[in-house]
């Protein structure tokens, strides 16, 4: 039976999950995989578990200079010192398994180059979708496909908030406080609610799916903090629900990458993905639509994906690296720069209640090449009224020109919301 020693960097939520599984299920793993995994060192600023003193360390040198340590598990999160520690481990020839989507999305080429130089492995299944085995499915099960699209809910915090706003009529601030109370959202929720977390994950996922390096700098990003319970209700009136989606589409030699609130029909496969669950819907040239669903975060689900990589790395004879051009500064020729996709839009405006106000707005939309599917007056008062538009599919840049025009109009009191729609 093969034996390997691992070191764990970080003992937060995921690190504790990794430690717990290896303590409780080591015999089961050994029975199924003919592999014994031993924890040699744990590096952490604090320890919330009963860990033997000989396993504890505060010095990365004790890990990178220990020839008995085969695999380093990085679950610290953030850019530093995680990146420095990972580079040190790779330079020492140690395979690294990471769940750190921010580090990987920003520095994947640099990290992989370090792995190649020493012949080490670098694996990161847990960086996207928590316990959902999506990256290896792309590598090992969907190779015969040219992937055409990705529609994904890959941030559990925002999905929980939007679920509560939809199901219980809460406003955004109330739903966020509930998510924080349950530990789904951090005290500073910016990374989640403003779409950064989903942006990192989409960069990694789309790069794998479309077989090209697609960096975060070219992902359009917009969060959910401006979504109101009125928007949630108006979406329901249209037979739709609002989700924060990570969307990637390839058409010929163009790829569009975007993260933003999206109105989708109640019949859409992602419409009933609730609470903190994640789901990834992909379309391939041969397989058609496939959907992966499960816990997208949390201690044990993410630790499950981490240990899947550990077991994989222990068994393969040669490390697996990206087979596409993957170096810093390289931009894939399939990347779509203009951010000018086409989709329908939902637009909520507050207009002054004066003659001709609506006519001015609709003329501006027409001048920008936007056709109106419906215009509904909501919450009319003596001095103002809310108008909700649905458009036919229009170019993103045309919509932005129209919004810029609205903001210059005296009859437009507020551009309340612009939400993209997908069918």
201 in catalytic set: yes
Instruction: Report the chain's terminal Cα–Cα distance, integer Å.
Output: 52
| Total Cβ atoms within 10 A of residue 79 | 13
Provide the 10 A C-beta neighbour count for residue 279: 21
| Dihedral (CA of 37, 42, 47, 51) sign | positive
Contacts with 291 (C-beta within 8 Å, 6 or more apart), sequence order: 269, 279, 280, 281, 282
- List the structure tokens of 79: 């850019």
Q: Residue 152: which of 251, 65, 268 has the closest Cα?
A: 268
- Residue 12 neighbours by CB distance under 10 Å: 15
Alpha-carbon distance of 87 to 106, in angstroms, equals 14
DSSP class of 54:
G
Look-up: residue for tokens 């014994």?
36
* Residue recorded with tokens 């077991």: 311
| Residue 230 near residue 347 (C-beta atoms within 8 A) | no
Task: Provide the edge-to-edge strand list for the sheet that holds 122-123.
Answer: 56-57, 35-43, 2-9, 71-74, 95-98, 122-123
Q: Which of 40, 94, 101, 201 is catalytic?
A: 201
| R_g (Cα) of the chain, nearest Å | 24
Tokens of 317: 């004879």
DSSP 162-203: HHHHHHH---HHHHHHHHHHTTSS-SS-HHHHTSHHHHHHHH
DSSP character for 299? H
- Paired sense of beta strands 147-153 and 240-251, if any: antiparallel
Helix, coil or strand: residue 420: strand
CB 280 within 8 A of CB 154: yes
- CA distances to 105, 127, 242, 264, 397 from 156, rounded to whole Å, are 19, 13, 14, 18, 30
Q: Distance between CA atoms of 217 and 107, rounded to whole angstroms?
A: 12
Q: Is there a contact between 75 and 307 (Cβ–Cβ < 8 Å)? A: no
User: Among all residues, which ones are annotated catalytic?
Assistant: 201
């Amino acid at each position: 039976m093969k034996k390997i020693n691992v070191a764990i960097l970080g003992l937060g939520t995921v690190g504790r999950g990794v430690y717990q599984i290896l303590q409780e299920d080591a015999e089961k793993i050994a029975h199924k995989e003919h592999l014994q995994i031993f924890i040699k060192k744990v590096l952490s600023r604090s320890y919330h578990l009963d860990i033997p003193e000989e396993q504890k360390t505060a010095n990365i040198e004790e890990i990178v200079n220990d020839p008995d340590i085969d695999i380093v598990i990085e679950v610290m999160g953030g850019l530093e010192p995680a990146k420095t520690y990972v580079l040190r481990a790779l330079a020492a020839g140690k395979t690294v398994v990471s769940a750190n989507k921010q580090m990987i999305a920003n520095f994947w080429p640099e990290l992989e180059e370090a792995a190649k130089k020493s012949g080490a492995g670098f694996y990161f299944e847990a960086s996207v979708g928590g316990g959902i085995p999506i990256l290896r499915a792309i590598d090992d099960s969907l190779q015969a496909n040219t992937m055409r699209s990705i529609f994904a809910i890959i941030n559990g915090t925002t999905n929980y908030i939007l679920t509560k706003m939809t199901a219980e009529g809460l406003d955004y601030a109330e739903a966020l406080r509930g998510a924080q109370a349950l530990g789904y959202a951090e005290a500073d929720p910016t990374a989640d609610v403003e779409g950064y977390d989903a942006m990192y994950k989409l960069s990694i996922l789309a790069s794998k799916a479309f077989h090209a390096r697609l960096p975060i700098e070219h992902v359009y990003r917009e969060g959910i903090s401006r979504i109101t319970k009125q928007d949630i209700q108006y979406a329901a009136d249209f037979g739709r629900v609002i989700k924060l989606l990570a969307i990637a589409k390839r058409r010929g030699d163009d790829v569009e990458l975007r993260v933003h609130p999206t109105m989708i029909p109640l019949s859409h496969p992602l419409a009933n993905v609730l609470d903190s669950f994640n789901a990834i819907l992909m379309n391939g040239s041969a397989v058609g639509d496939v959907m992966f669903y499960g816990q997208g975060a949390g201690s044990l689900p993410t630790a499950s994906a981490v240990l899947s990589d550990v077991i994989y790395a222990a068994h393969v004879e040669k490390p697996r690296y990206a087979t596409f051009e993957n170096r810093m500064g390289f931009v894939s020729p399939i990347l779509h720069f203009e951010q000018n996709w086409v989709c329908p839009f939902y637009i909520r405006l507050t207009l002054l209640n004066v003659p001709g106000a609506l006519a001015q707005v609709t003329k501006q939309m027409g001048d920008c090449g936007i056709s109106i599917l419906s215009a509904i007056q909501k919450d009319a008062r003596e001095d103002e009224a809310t108008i909700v538009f649905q458009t036919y599919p229009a170019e993103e840049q045309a919509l932005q020109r129209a919004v810029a025009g609205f903001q210059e109009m005296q009859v437009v009191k507020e551009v309340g919301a612009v939400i993209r729609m997908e069918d």
